Structure 1
Amino acid sequence: MVHISEIARIFREEYGRSVAVLVRVLGSIDAAEDAVQDAFTEAVARWPDDGLPPSPAGWIITTARNRAIDRFRREASGREKLVQAAILHGDEHSDEPEEVDTVEDNQLRLIFTCCHPAINRAAQVALTLKLLGGLTTAEIAHAFLVPEATMAQRLVRAKGKIRDARIPYRVPSGAELPERLKSVLAVVYLVFNEGYAASSGAGLVREHLCHEAVRLGRLIMELMPDEPEAKGLLALMLLLNARRDARTTPDGGLVLLADQDRSVWDKDQIAEGQLLVRQCLKRNQPGPYQLQAAINAVHSDAAQPASTDWRQILALYGQLLAMEPTPVVALNRAVALAEVEGPASGLAAVDVLELGNYYLFHAVRADLLRRLGRNNEAAAAYREAQERTDNDAERDFLASRIRALTTTGPGPAAPTSDHPLGR
């Protein structure tokens, strides 16, 4: 007997693939989603008694297609019915599993549709999680701490934009592809970052978003195996995610990289991430995600914080800054510089940056000032950082640093990673 939870798991895993196929067949995202939901309802009714079909993915797609035919028959008439019948390649039901050998192509089309530049970034993220990740609207709303109704409206507007602007359901080609791929990878990394270091709320980590981002990263790499940045992004996420269990205390407090118990780092994810980094190095087509992955591979090589090769990390950040000359990259490089040349050099590099509204800028300044013994200035900078984060775990951490300044002098370096606070 098949339990309902097992059916739900299968549908979560197959949702994106099924919707991708049905969008091509039906020509509508809404119709595809409705059809897959109808198939889920039928599976709940039949599978507990009948058992799993030989090909659950094929069963879902075929059943969804048949339910769509039924829906069109009920709702369409005259010419509309003929058009829908033509779209559906004939209106006869089929009990044979739909051919799924082109599923990968359909998924790739759907990813690029979700991340079309005509759609704003927040909606791109929401659509990607909904259509490719199979998350419910309520789950996405909860992850980003907005009301479900707000997220539902965001999704409706995004799908309306696709429909009204006639955004093509295809993979871009030629000169258009690199920029569009960059947008796709950025969306997946945004999902991961929100899971890895939540922008607001009580908890530092939202594990489900990390899991979904890694899964989407694997999917993109499988669909585009010749794109080194897709491999670099997956490597980066795996190397960061490997530290997840060590990044918080049992009560949810933030633990810096220097203080983490490295014995609980996930060795399998580290090994996979390092393998991908080595494969990227052999390709010799460096990109921002590959360089960030290489930086984190260096961190993962260090059994103890003291054995970290900061000179290599500084060199890699130099390459990254040349490729992406942004203040945030410069801030990360400044922290690595402080580990190599001392906090005074790091502070000099930080103070020229225009990042006054970025809480990590103030947190980094505070740490460097603390290490230089300038405790009053450090406390003021920590307070500036506190005012600019909405995450409770980060606020509590910063408050603990302020309290410590009243009883202790400058402390040891707090190594960084991809993140200026060394997480």
Structure 2
Amino acid sequence: MTIAEKGTTILSDLFRREQVKMTAVLCRHFGIKDLDLVEDVIAETFLKATELWPQSGIPENPSAWLYVVAKNIAKDTFRKKTSEIKKFKNLLDSNPKESLEVSFEDTIIADSHLTMIFTVCDNTLSPKGKICLSLQILCGLSVEEIAFALHSNKETVKKILFRAREQLRESNFEIKNLTLEDIRLRMDTVLLTIYLLFNEGYSSKTKDSVIRMDLIKQALNLGLSLLETKLTRTPELLALMSLFCFQASRLDSRMNPEGSVVIFTDQDKSKWDQNLIQKGNEYFLEAFNPDSQSRYHYEAAIAYWHTQEESLEKWKYVLMIYDRFLGVYDSPSVFLNRVFAYSKVYGKQKALEEVKNFNDNKNRDYHSLLGYLYTNSNTELASQHYQKAIQMTKSNKEISLLQMKIKELDLVNG
């Protein structure tokens, strides 16, 4: 690999990781109404890196180099803007250092990230606007990734983001200290944002890598930060963190050395992280509250059973939880997962009866499930559904897994 190629690879990784931190710090410092200027500062920072690094070499500490450059560009950019606005001129002249000094210390980055997510979840924005904007500018997800996370399409997400940004510009939106009531009112949206961020990291449907540790770590860090405060240490957050721990405990077993996906039943259980499973148990016990039955409680309970040995009794418990879950949260994904659990208890043929009235030809998971359910009774139909699922995913790893299932069907027929 040439120096230029190495620099490009490092920059790509850094952009995905550091762009989110820069956005949070700069928006908190200069205001979210100047989001366009903040994005220009970040773009110019990385442009300088692409121009200079191939010639002068990659800095010993690339992240620190980017922060220094971003800080200088930001000060220049906002000094020019401030000097052009008459009402801010006196402030600039009297104490420019106080208004323009930017810091990228670790504690400020972490604090800014969480503060900005709560800020963006303002009630002036639509529910979907809050989620989409948080996932894009503060979590670093692309439009395509957000569309997958919300079971939507790119054009719809683009429109939501455009309207949300327009609302920020048109309103007298400013970053301020939130009241206790503000935090309570925004907590549900903040948790959903972190949940969707973790999901994209745990099972990416849009990248070559199914597991994206940068997103998983980001979600875990945000959750851990919220746990530190009594006000935000809610049963819902504890259930969410329990879910994260149970899911993350199996990360080392989900990919083989060649980078292919290992399905749950084939995973090496000895690689499961028992410390994370224990932590998940602790969070779940603390999360128990008769008055709180959030989606995170149900999903954490199901994830707990997936850390247990394979047995019919286990699947009976999982099915029972899905029955209750579906009663309070009716969604295609919950329905399809319930049908899979049903097949584990009563068999694939009976499960086909459960799904016969559900018809969603645009749902990749629907076709994957039907491919699985028809495996024993109609291999040709199973193969057709797997092919349809392949057409609906852009993840090369997931495509490889589905193609492997089709080959297994061919071997049965052969």
Cα 1:256–1:102 change in 2 (3 A) is closer
Deviations 1:242-291 (A, max 9, x none): 21221122222221111101111222222222211111115651200121
1:352 match: 357
Q: Per-residue deviation at 1:408? A: 2.4
Contact 2:201 2:213 (C-alpha < 8 Å) held by counterparts = yes
1:124 match: 134
3-state SS, counterpart of residue 370 of structure 1: coil
Contact 1:35 1:68 (C-alpha < 8 Å) held by counterparts = no
Q: Larger deviation: 351-360 or 110-119?
A: 110-119
CA distance in 2, matches of 1:109, 1:342: 49
Partner of residue 381 from structure 1, selected from 385, 398, 412: 385
2:170 match: 164
Among the aligned pairs, what percent are the same residue?
Answer: 22
CA distance in 1, matches of 2:90, 2:368: 61
Unaligned runs of 5+ in 2: 1-9, 49-58, 148-156
Aligned letter for 1:353? F
1:183 match: 189
What does 1:194-343 correspond to in 2, within 5 Å? 194-223=200-229, 224-282=231-289, 284-300=291-307, 302=308, 304-306=309-311, 309-343=314-348
Q: Does 1:392 align with 2:402?
A: no
2:408 match: 404
3-state SS, counterpart of residue 338 of structure 2: helix
Cα 1:176–1:245 change in 2 (3 A) is closer
3-state SS, counterpart of residue 368 of structure 2: helix
CA distance in 2, matches of 1:216, 1:370: 41
3-state SS, counterpart of residue 123 of structure 1: helix
2:5 match: none
CA distance in 2, matches of 1:102, 1:386: 43
What does 1:351-370 correspond to in 2, within 5 Å? 351-370=356-375
Aligned letter for 1:123? L
Aligned letter for 1:181? M
Aligned letter for 2:275? D
Cα 1:352–1:74 change in 2 (3 A) is closer
Unaligned runs of 5+ in 1: 42-47, 49-55, 131-138, 146-150, 410-423
Deviations 1:155-195 (A, max 9, x none): 999656423333353548759955x4333222222222222
Cα 1:111–1:312 change in 2 (3 A) is same
2:117 match: 111
Q: Per-residue deviation at 1:377? A: 2.1
Q: Could you say what the CA RMSD is over the residues aligned between the two structures, in angstroms?
A: 4.7
Aligned letter for 1:266? D
Aligned letter for 2:263? L
Cα 1:74–1:225 change in 2 (3 A) is closer
Deviations 1:1-40 (A, max 9, x none): xxxx9xx9x989976775475257x9855778899999xx
CA distance in 2, matches of 1:128, 1:12: 9
CA distance in 1, matches of 2:375, 2:406: 10
